[in-house]
Structure 1
């Protein structure tokens, strides 16, 4: 990655020099030299213990110095950058850091790091085509937990392409589940388990879209109740279909 700035220094000073490199960028070709940043060390109250721990020491530094810091991690196996800590509002003095193997590095070009030409959301790392769209998105995203949105890779999704094989049916069911989100942290990956809590199901007559039946249920056993309901409706609807209606004769 070409965008992070690596200053040649002792490893336990990486946080201090990375922060200063972001707040007081060096000119010319000396961005990697620690001597470019040493004059500014006395202007800030840095953690007294080394190595700097995340997030405790980073958050204490922010409070003592009026500086905001975003911190991102790097997944070596999947080879992608993801947010670890993103502030709700950035101060005038703000830096973005990359944390690799407990070593802090300055992110000097956020878009280049994510290989994006769009307007990036620093909280979820999704890119938008217009700054206006990003601003609207941030109104909702700023209060959410930081996470990188990972989309399925090509070839890992399922799609239905057999519309020509479908046949019309006299009745069909439409249903929707509601879930309670339960946070889950697995090896640094943020997930939310969707625990089913309720469902609504309607039976629709295809000929005129009339809702024949409507079922609503709330409870922990909603999945079990839903499956039992489907079995019952299967038998009930088959009974409707197999009813032979008498022929009404009219005088010609």
Structure 2
């Protein structure tokens, strides 16, 4: 819309999808053993207690078996919480997944879900990694690492494991999203400003060769897509999207000082 206006809904809901992205990676066709998703959150709502709303930044990944058949989808992402912390979620959706150290469901449905609280700072650059364990192809491991200073990166922190009931690999394309969650909302003015970036994911093969994929913005979506305003810009190299910067907020939101 060229002139989005404040919008009030009859029913309050949560979660609410806000913004989507798509990515792809080069593969031989047999799937990938790992994917790393670089992202940075410059501004966003912090969920400090169960009554608060928050904003979730996540990348989805497809899981396939040795025959290339889909076993379901998972996601790994960041939820800024109280000052200096973020909750990292790592979930698999469907009957093929369990989380031995986490919850026996995924968003209330079949699957498994992990969450791990880590140190976090707005504006820092992070890499979230999903990796098939080399000695156990039925186990997927999640990691987060602060790479703001590439010459002195932070510790690669474990985000607990997902287990799959078959030997698994990761598919070469999927989507990511920015989502409002927590407190139910019924008006666009309740969507706080957020900004940040998703960079093209990459994978590392058995010989240590890094292959970088591509990323593109799919735009605003969800029930408040017509009452949200902002910008997104993709940096391309050779015509391929390498970094996507986004900034948006609900129409009518008044930023607090």
Q: Which TM-score band (shorter chain)?
A: under 0.3
Query: How does the TM-score come out when normalised to structure 1?
Result: 0.22
Task: Determine which structure has the larger helix proportion and give its number.
Answer: 1
Q: TM-score, with normalisation over the residues of structure 2?
A: 0.22
Which structure has the greater CA radius of gyration? 1
Q: As a proportion of its length, which structure holds more strand? A: 2
Higher relative contact order (CA closer than 8 Å, sequence separation 6+): 2
